[in-house]
């Protein structure tokens, strides 16, 4: 167990057992974060209202935008792909920005609305599915693929998406847990761990980080945010294996079936994921070919294998093994989104190459299958509980009277010295 201590701006507090970051101290104030969120909202509007690129061939011109790509994919009969990519590239990023704006305004006013805890739970959920950086890479791949097909002019939407990608990466540090810590420091919500006494069974709420005695909690709901409270995730093994098996089954059609169909005056050709990699290589874009191959082939296989290894190795004892498992799990979480790259490329190509009578690109059945594989592997990673391995590897009791400087926003069993940041 850890007690959260003041640290210098830019410093990171680490767990002394597994070495994972516990919390960071940002040098940006609440007003600074609010200004950045406001700028991100403006850039988001620009990115989606102005064309990403303008393509012209044989007297035809296309001004491609993300919204047009989603609408065209829907009209072509691929509603599931349009909804899926629309949520990841438009809906969830917009929701993340709006909920951050709302939460920061509430904290600055020092009056939290009654639904503050619900709003932060929504923010925590949608932030994991916001994929603007992946979309930006998809835009670049699509532009390279079409550069030799038509006269291409980069539009302001591309530059806006580039700026938005940087902003969203920075804003990802303003997590729901950090907002709860801001509220706690301002005295707007109960302090974490204040109710713990000797002999209590502590449990940390996954939604807000509030550490509280589990036995004193009626209805197994967090006393601060009312989210369901459990000391560990409920029955994670069954859910992880179910998601992994389903993802492994769908991974076969995702790679065998075409992800897109290209209609030209000379006929119709279908392209699989590997076919797209080969095409990029032939165009001379070997760097993008490697990126697409890693994101669309290596990463999904690695996630499936890594999660399976994590499930099997949980029974292995020893702190060293558990630290290795923790690093592997962090890697799986980090790369989870990037497999959606090929799906984004397909819908963008469908909009950029929409020249009636000259060329048309539509999503294939492999695109939907591949998108579901990405979703299932992300659900599997979210269902996994790395703390269970530590429970089995380290069997020790913690005397509440002898806990020195501990972070009560973390789970039991982790100790951090005062100067470890």
Phi, psi of 80 (to 5 degrees): -65, -45
List the pLDDT tens digit at each of the 421 positions of the chain: 667 777 776 677 777 767 777 777 777 889 999 999 999 999 999 999 999 998 888 878 888 999 999 999 999 999 999 999 999 999 999 999 999 999 999 999 999 999 999 999 999 999 999 999 999 999 998 888 887 777 888 999 999 999 999 999 999 999 999 999 899 988 899 888 777 777 777 888 888 888 888 765 555 788 888 888 887 888 888 999 999 999 999 999 998 999 988 887 777 788 888 888 887 788 777 777 888 888 888 888 888 988 888 887 766 666 677 777 778 888 888 888 888 988 999 999 888 888 877 778 888 899 999 999 999 999 999 988 887 766 666 554 444 334 444 444 444 333 333 333 3
**Total count of domains within the chain:** 1
Note whether residue 286 is domain-resident: yes
Note whether residue 123 is domain-resident: yes
Res 317: pLDDT: 63
Note whether residue 374 is domain-resident: yes
Show Cβ contacts of residue 129 under 8 Å, excluding neighbours closer than 6 positions.
Answer: 87, 88, 92, 337, 378
| pTM (two decimals) | 0.83
Res 219: pLDDT: 59
CA distance 344 to 371: 10
Show Cβ contacts of residue 21 under 8 Å, excluding neighbours closer than 6 positions.
Answer: 12, 13, 14, 15
Note whether residue 35 is domain-resident: yes
Res 193: pLDDT: 75
Q: Could you tell me if 323 and 393 are in contact, meaning their C-beta atoms sit under 8 angstroms apart?
A: no
Note whether residue 95 is domain-resident: yes
The DSSP code for 294 is: I
Res 68: pLDDT: 92
Pull the structure tokens for residue 391: 């429970």
Note whether residue 39 is domain-resident: yes
For tokens 């709003």, the residue is 119
Note whether residue 419 is domain-resident: no
In this structure, how many other beta carbons lie within 10 angstroms of the beta carbon of residue 210?
A: 26
Full residue range of the structural domain in which residue 170 is found: 2-407
Q: Shortest CA distance to 367 belongs to which of 87, 81, 74? A: 81
Rg (CA), the chain: 24
Res 11: pLDDT: 72
Note whether residue 135 is domain-resident: yes
- N- to C-terminal Cα separation, the chain: 16
């Amino acid at each position: 167990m850890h007690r959260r201590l003041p640290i210098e701006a830019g410093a990171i507090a680490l767990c002394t057992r597994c070495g994972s970051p516990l919390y960071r101290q940002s040098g940006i104030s609440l007003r600074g974060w609010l200004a950045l969120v406001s700028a991100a909202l403006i850039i988001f509007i620009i990115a989606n209202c102005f064309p990403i690129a303008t393509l012209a061939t044989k007297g035809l011109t296309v001004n491609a935008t993300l919204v047009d790509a989603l609408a065209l994919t829907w009209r072509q009969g691929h509603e599931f792909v349009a909804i899926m990519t629309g949520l990841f590239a438009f809906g969830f990023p917009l929701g993340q920005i709006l909920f951050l704006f709302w939460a920061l305004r509430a904290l600055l006013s020092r009056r939290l609305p009654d639904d503050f805890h619900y709003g932060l739970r929504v923010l925590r959920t949608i932030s994991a599915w916001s994929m603007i950086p992946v979309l930006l890479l998809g835009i670049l791949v699509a532009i390279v693929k079409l550069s030799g097909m038509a006269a291409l002019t980069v539009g302001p939407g591309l530059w806006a998406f580039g700026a938005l990608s940087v902003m969203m990466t920075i804003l990802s540090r303003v997590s729901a847990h950090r907002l709860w810590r801001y509220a706690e420091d301002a005295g707007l919500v109960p302090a974490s761990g204040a109710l713990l006494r000797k002999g209590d069974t502590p449990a940390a709420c996954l939604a807000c980080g509030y550490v509280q005695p589990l036995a004193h909690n009626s209805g197994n709901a967090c006393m601060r945010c009312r989210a369901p409270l459990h000391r560990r995730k409920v029955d994670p093994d069954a859910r992880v294996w179910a998601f992994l098996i389903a993802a492994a089954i769908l991974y076969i059609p995702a790679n065998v079936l075409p992800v897109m169909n290209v209609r030209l005056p000379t006929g119709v050709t279908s392209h699989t994921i590997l076919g797209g990699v080969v095409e990029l290589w032939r165009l001379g874009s070997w760097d993008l070919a490697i990126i697409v191959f890693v994101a669309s082939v290596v990463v999904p296989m690695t996630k499936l294998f890594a999660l399976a290894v994590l499930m099997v190795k949980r029974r292995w004892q020893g702190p060293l093994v558990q630290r290795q498992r923790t690093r592997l799990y962090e890697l799986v979480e980090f790369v989870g989104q990037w497999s959606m790259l090929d799906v984004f490329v397909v819908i963008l190509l469908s909009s950029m190459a929409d020249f009636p009578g000259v060329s048309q690109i539509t999503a294939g059945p492999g695109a939907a299958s591949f998108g579901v594989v990405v979703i299932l592997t992300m659900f599997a990673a979210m269902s996994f509980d790395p703390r269970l391995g530590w429970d089995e590897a380290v069997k020790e009791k913690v005397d509440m009277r002898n806990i020195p400087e501990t972070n009560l926003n973390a789970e039991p069993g982790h100790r951090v010295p005062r100067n470890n940041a």
